[in-house]
Amino acid sequence: MFIQTLVTGLAIGGIYALMAVGYSLVFSVLNFSNFAYGSIIMLGAYAGYYILTQMGQPLFVAVLAAIIGSAILAYANEKIAYSSLRRRNASSLYFMISAMGTAIFLENLVYATIGSRFYAFPEVLTRQNLNVLGTSLGILDAFAIVFSSVAIYGLHWFLQNSKMGIAIRAASYDMQVSQINGVNINRLIGLVFLLAGALAGISGVFLGMKYMVYPTMGWITNKAYIAAVIGGLGSLPGAVVGGLLLGVLETFVSAYISSAIRDVFSFSLLVVLLLVMPSGLFGKYLEEKV
């Protein structure tokens, strides 16, 4: 029972980690919480669902389409909702207001065009379980763990070894100094949103397969925001650890106490952590000196 619960928690935590990394990637550069990210994830789930059901394509094509579609949508979101604010040097409050407006717009657009029905993904991954070391492991959970790990490792490698990845890390410390040293900030921010959107597409498909697809499913990304805060906003390793930790803790609370208090536990954990460790587990507190 313990190992089974742990594996399930890691699978859910892997999805949380993907979403939390997308949140933290944007926050690390622009220093605001992109609340429209949940709607991008929701639309990625719809894209994967329709590719599978209406076009009859295999799962990897649906995932690829969701990645590309969500990346383009996230890029357009930045250009339409945020770039003009950047040019005017607006405060982070206006970015968050614009993000919330975008989220509400996209959610209601789905209501108006697709409707409010719940859609279940077809069983592209069999419901049979794998027996691993005496533990029953669902194929969907195993696939989610492996795919999430590969995606996060790929992003880590890109940020550590590529020229643009190094530029993103430099901009996360000081955007103005990076620009002085020749970094094209507009191109860099566009790339950040493309990467965050790609992660949104992956996590949207997995969320749809794990649960269902519906217009308000983007609000489940509040859990990813909690995970990002736990790890430390702006810290990508912290986002991964926070996502896995939150997924495992929620699963154990549901299994051993009650699933009814799972959300209560998550938000209570957030409040307690902000009181005790405002910068999270891996976040850095930077004091500006004049």
Q: Write down the CATH superfamily of domain 1-119+134-276.
A: ABC transporter involved in vitamin B12 uptake, BtuC (1.10.3470.10)
pLDDT at position 279 over 80: no
Range from 43-47, 157-161, 162-166, 238-242 carrying the lowest mean pLDDT: 238-242
More confident residue, 82 or 134: 82
pLDDT at position 169 over 60: yes
Q: How far is CA 164 from CA 153, 184, 239, in A?
A: 16, 10, 21
Residues 6+ apart with CB under 8 A from 102: 36, 39, 77, 81
What was the pLDDT predicted at 135? 63
pLDDT at position 272 over 70: yes
pLDDT at position 52 over 80: yes
**Residue-range domain boundaries for the chain:** 1-119+134-276
Question: How far is the C-alpha of 93 from the C-alpha of 24, rounded, in Å?
Answer: 17
What was the pLDDT predicted at 286? 46
Confidence of residue 254 (pLDDT cuts 50, 70, 90): confident
What was the pLDDT predicted at 149? 85
Question: How far is the C-alpha of 235 from the C-alpha of 214, rounded, in Å?
Answer: 30
- Residue where the block lists tokens 């357009």: 76
- Selection from 65, 53, 69 nearest residue 117 by Cα: 53
Confidence of residue 108 (pLDDT cuts 50, 70, 90): very high
Question: How far is the C-alpha of 1 from the C-alpha of 6, rounded, in Å?
Answer: 9
pLDDT at position 283 over 70: no
What was the pLDDT predicted at 288? 44
- Read off the pLDDT of each residue in 234-249 and give the average, rounded to a whole number: 84
Cβ-count burial 269-286 (b if 16+ within 10 Å, e if not): bbeebeeeeebbbbbeee
In whole angstroms, how large is the CA radius of gyration of the chain?
19
pLDDT at position 90 over 80: yes
Residue 29 in contact with residue 192, Cβ under 8 Å?
yes
Question: How far is the C-alpha of 191 from the C-alpha of 170, rounded, in Å?
Answer: 14
Question: How far is the C-alpha of 218 from the C-alpha of 254, rounded, in Å?
Answer: 21
Task: Write out pLDDT tens, residues 192-229.
Answer: 999 999 999 998 998 888 888 999 888 777 788 888 88
Which residues on neighbouring strands pair with residue 132, listed in sequence order? 135
Task: Write out pLDDT tens, residues 57-73.
Answer: 888 899 999 999 999 99
Confidence of residue 133 (pLDDT cuts 50, 70, 90): low
Q: How far is CA 29 from the centre of its chain?
A: 16
Cα dihedral 197→23→107→271 (10° resolution): 160
Helix (H, G, I), strand (E, B) or coil at 121: coil
Residue 243 in contact with residue 224, Cβ under 8 Å?
yes
